[in-house]
Amino acid sequence: MGHFDDSESALFASSTLKFKGDDKPLASAELQTLSETEALHCVTASRYRHVRCMFAATGNFIEVLRRGSLGDLCLP
């Protein structure tokens, strides 16, 4: 399992990551590194398994994924 550093933030924002076998790039996303093993990831539009694929592309694995909001609705 990898660890987060600042290079992932630039990569996630670049809109250059793609699903394997797909030419359409994933939407850009904001990544805020909280620690070596934790990050806050903000996407405004996503496709199936979008977040997990972005992290896998950087050599990381998501152990726990929690949705904090959906539009203007904050989730508990």
pLDDT at 1 over 60: no
DSSP H or E run through 73: strand 73-74
Task: Tell whether pTM > 0.85.
Answer: no
Superfamily of domain 6-63, CATH level 4: Alpha-L RNA-binding motif (3.30.70.1560)
Listed in sequence order, the residues at least 6 apart from 10 whose beta carbon sits closer than 8 Å to its beta carbon are none
User: Using CA atoms, how far apart are residues 27 and 64, in angstroms rounded to an integer?
Assistant: 21
| Residue 53: predicted pLDDT | 84
User: Which amino acid does the sequence have at 33?
Assistant: T
Listed in sequence order, the residues at least 6 apart from 19 whose beta carbon sits closer than 8 Å to its beta carbon are 26, 47, 53
Per-residue pLDDT of 15-56, as tens digits, reads 888 878 888 888 888 888 888 888 888 887 777 788 888 888
Q: What value does the CA radius of gyration of the chain take, rounded to a whole number of Å?
A: 12
What's the pLDDT band for 2 if we cut at 50, 70, 90?
low
Delimit the domains of the chain by residue range: 6-63
